[in-house]
C-alpha cells in the first residue's frame, strides 16, 4: 500500500479532477496541499457535474475524509459559499469528513483587491492571475504578517494580527490612492464567520500521523501544474506556490518518506490559461479545433485556454524535477479527428538546438519547437477502456510519448467519464 501524490505535469488543466476522483474511490483521505480557490477541478459523477475550487475532490464521495493543509491559502467566505453550494447537490460537509489546518493563511478582501490592481496596471507585463488574492496572501505569509485560521480563536490576538497586516497594506493603498481598510470593520466580519470556520480547524499534521498509523490510504491532491511552480515554472508567469510533489510534505505536515507514488497528470496535447511563453501554441484552425473538441475553458474563470501540440521537452523536464513515477494521459480522444499529430522533441534558440526549457523568460518566448510527426488514427477512441482496443496509430503515439519523456503511462483517459479509463498500473499498489 502506498500514499499517492497527484500533480499536473504541464500548466494545469490536465484533467486532474477526474483522475483524483477515480483514485479517491480507493483512498481513505484526500489532502489539498497548496494553492487556493484559483484551482478548479471538474468532476462528473453519475451524470452530475461538480465544479470544485477549494474543496478537495474526495468531498463528493461518502466515507472519505477531505483536508485542506497548511500550504493552502483559504478565502473563508469563498469556502463557506462552496460548502453551501455543494450541499445543495446533496453532499454533506461536516467536521467528520472535512478539516482544515489551523495553520493555513486566510485570503482577505484586500488581497483580492491588490491582485486586481496589479493586473490592471501591469500592461504588457500582466501575469494572467485569476484575481482571487492568492499571490498577495502568500506574500503576507512569507512576510510573517498573515492572518491564520488559528487567529480567529482569540479576539485580542486577531486585533493585534490585523493591526500588523493592515499597517503594511494600508501604506501601499494610500500610495495608490485607494480606500484605507478599517481594522474594526474587518475584525467584525471575521468574527462573524469564525465559528463556521473554526469547527473544521484541526492540527492536520497530527491527524495525518494518526491516519498513517492506521494504515489509511492517503491521496495528496495538487493544484495547477508544475510549469506554474514559483521556482521551477515559466517565471514570472507562474502561481505563487510550489506546485511540485515535494510540497505535499511541507504543505500538509507529512514527512516525504510517507509518499510512495507520484502520478503526473498529462494531457495528450498542451494547454495554457493566461499570459506567458508557450512554445508549441497553435494559433490556427488546429488549435481552435483542439480547444473546441477538448472544451478548453477554465473551471474557475471560464477563460479560453490556449492550445498546442504536446511538448515532450517540457514534460520530460517536469518529470525529472518532480520525481514522477508514472503519468495519467488524458484527453486522448480529442486527437481522434486529426490527420497527423506532432510532438515537440527539441527547441531552437538563436540558431542553436537545446533540449530543455531555459530559465530566462526572454529565451522562453523565443523558443522555436522542433517536431516529430505521427500519423493520426482518424477513428473514435472515446470511451475505450482497454489498451488492446485502441487504434494502432494511437498506440504508436502513446509508446513514443512514453519513451521520450522517460516515464511510463500508468493510465489513459478517453472521456470525461470516470469509467472511461484504461488502467495500466494502480498507483496505490504499484
Assess contact for 307 and 287: CB atoms under 8 A.
yes
The pLDDT value recorded for residue 299 is 60
13 catalytic per annotation? yes
Q: What is the mean pLDDT of residues 347-351?
A: 97
The pLDDT value recorded for residue 274 is 84
The pLDDT value recorded for residue 19 is 87
The pLDDT value recorded for residue 42 is 75
Assess contact for 29 and 67: CB atoms under 8 A.
yes
In terms of DSSP H, where are the helices of 176-297? 183-198, 204-213, 247-250, 285-293
Q: Dihedral, CA atoms, 156, 157, 158, 163, nearest 10 degrees?
A: 90
Across the chain, mean pLDDT equals 93
The pLDDT value recorded for residue 15 is 87
pLDDT digits 0-9 by tens, 180-197: 999 999 999 999 999 999
Q: What is the mean pLDDT of residues 205-216?
A: 95
The pLDDT value recorded for residue 193 is 97
pLDDT at 247 over 80: yes
Long-range pairs, 390-398, Cβ under 8 A, ≥24: 390/422, 394/332, 394/335, 397/335, 397/341, 397/343, 398/329, 398/332
The pLDDT value recorded for residue 129 is 72
CA distance 31 to 33: 6
Residues 6+ apart with CB under 8 A from 297: 303, 304, 305
CA distance 252 to 119: 30
For residue 354, the cross-strand partners are 347
pLDDT digits 0-9 by tens, 248-290: 999 999 989 888 999 999 999 999 998 899 999 999 999 999 9
Kindly tell me the burial class for residue 108, based on how many C-beta atoms sit within 10 Å of its own C-beta (0-12, 13-18, 19 or more).
buried
Strand order in the sheet with 65-68: 201-202, 98-101, 65-68, 29-32, 218-221, 4-8, 261-267, 326-330, 408-413, 421-423
The pLDDT value recorded for residue 126 is 67
The pLDDT value recorded for residue 324 is 97
- Higher pLDDT: 118 or 356? It is 356
Least Cα distance to 182 among 168, 162, 160 occurs for 162
Q: What is the mean pLDDT of residues 167-189?
A: 93
Q: What is the mean pLDDT of residues 354-358?
A: 97
Which entry of 21, 28, 37, 41 is annotated as an active-site residue? 41
pLDDT at 83 over 90: yes
The pLDDT value recorded for residue 50 is 82
pLDDT at 39 over 90: no
Per-residue pLDDT band at 298 (split at 50, 70, 90):
low
pLDDT digits 0-9 by tens, 413-424: 998 887 899 999
Relative to beta strand 29-32, strand 218-221 is: parallel
Question: What are the angstrom distances between the C-alpha of 130 and each of 73, 81, 134, 224, 302?
Answer: 14, 18, 8, 12, 10
Residue 131: HSE in the Cβ half-sphere, 13 Å Cα cutoff: 13
pLDDT digits 0-9 by tens, 375-427: 999 999 999 999 999 999 999 999 999 999 999 999 999 988 878 999 999 99
CA distance 346 to 344: 6
Other Cβ atoms within 10 Å of 56 Cβ, number:
27
The pLDDT value recorded for residue 122 is 66
pLDDT at 41 over 80: no
The pLDDT value recorded for residue 419 is 84
pLDDT digits 0-9 by tens, 90-143: 999 999 999 999 999 999 999 999 888 887 776 666 666 778 899 999 999 999
- Higher pLDDT: 183 or 24? It is 183
Which entry of 13, 21, 140, 311 is annotated as an active-site residue? 13
The pLDDT value recorded for residue 430 is 74
Per-residue pLDDT band at 343 (split at 50, 70, 90):
very high
pTM over 0.75: yes
Amino acid at each position: 500500500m502506498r500514499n499517492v501524490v497527484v500533480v499536473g505535469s504541464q500548466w494545469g488543466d490536465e484533467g486532474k479532477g477526474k483522475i483524483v476522483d477515480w483514485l479517491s474511490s480507493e483512498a481513505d483521505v484526500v489532502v489539498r496541499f497548496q494553492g487556493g480557490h484559483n484551482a478548479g477541478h471538474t468532476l462528473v459523477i453519475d451524470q452530475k457535474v461538480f465544479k470544485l475550487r477549494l474543496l478537495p475532490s474526495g468531498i463528493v464521495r461518502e466515507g472519505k475524509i477531505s483536508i485542506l493543509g497548511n500550504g493552502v491559502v483559504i478565502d473563508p467566505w469563498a469556502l463557506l459559499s462552496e460548502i453551501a453550494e455543494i450541499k445543495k447537490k446533496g453532499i454533506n460537509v461536516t467536521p467528520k469528513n472535512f478539516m482544515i489546518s489551523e495553520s493555513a493563511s486566510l485570503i482577505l478582501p484586500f488581497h483580492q483587491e491588490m491582485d486586481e490592481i496589479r493586473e490592471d496596471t501591469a500592461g504588457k507585463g500582466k501575469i494572467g492571475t485569476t484575481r482571487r488574492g492568492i499571490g498577495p496572501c502568500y506574500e503576507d505569509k512569507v512576510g510573517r504578517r498573515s492572518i491564520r485560521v488559528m487567529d480567529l480563536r482569540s479576539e485580542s490576538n486577531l486585533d493585534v494580527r490585523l493591526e500588523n497586516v493592515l499597517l503594511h497594506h494600508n501604506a501601499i493603498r494610500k500610495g495608490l490612492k485607494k480606500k484605507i481598510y478599517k481594522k474594526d470593520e474587518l475584525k467584525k466580519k471575521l468574527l462573524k464567520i469564525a465559528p463556521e470556520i473554526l469547527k473544521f480547524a484541526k492540527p492536520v499534521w497530527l491527524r495525518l500521523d494518526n491516519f498513517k498509523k492506521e494504515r489509511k490510504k492517503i491521496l495528496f491532491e495538487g493544484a495547477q501544474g508544475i510549469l506554474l511552480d514559483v521556482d521551477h515554472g515559466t517565471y514570472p508567469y507562474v502561481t505563487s506556490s510550489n506546485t511540485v510533489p515535494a510540497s505535499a510534505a511541507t504543505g500538509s505536515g507529512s514527512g516525504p518518506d510517507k509518499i510512495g507514488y507520484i502520478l503526473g497528470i498529462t494531457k495528450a496535447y498542451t494547454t495554457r490559461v493566461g499570459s506567458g511563453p508557450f512554445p508549441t501554441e497553435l494559433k490556427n484552425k488546429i488549435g481552435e479545433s483542439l480547444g473546441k473538441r477538448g472544451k478548453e475553458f477554465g473551471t474557475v474563470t471560464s477563460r479560453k485556454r490556449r492550445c498546442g501540440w504536446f511538448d515532450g521537452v517540457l514534460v520530460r523536464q517536469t518529470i525529472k524535477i518532480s520525481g514522477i513515477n508514472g503519468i495519467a494521459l488524458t484527453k486522448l480522444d480529442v486527437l481522434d479527428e486529426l490527420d497527423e499529430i506532432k510532438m515537440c522533441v527539441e527547441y531552437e534558440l538563436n540558431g542553436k538546438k537545446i533540449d530543455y526549457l531555459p530559465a530566462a523568460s526572454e529565451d522562453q518566448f523565443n523558443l522555436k519547437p522542433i517536431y516529430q510527426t505521427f500519423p493520426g488514427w482518424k477513428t473514435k477512441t472515446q470511451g475505450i477502456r482497454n489498451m488492446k482496443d485502441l487504434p494502432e496509430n494511437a498506440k504508436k503515439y502513446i509508446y513514443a510519448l512514453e519513451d521520450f519523456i522517460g516515464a511510463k503511462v500508468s493510465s489513459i483517459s478517453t472521456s470525461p467519464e470516470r469509467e472511461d479509463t484504461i488502467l495500466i498500473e494502480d498507483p496505490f499498489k504499484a
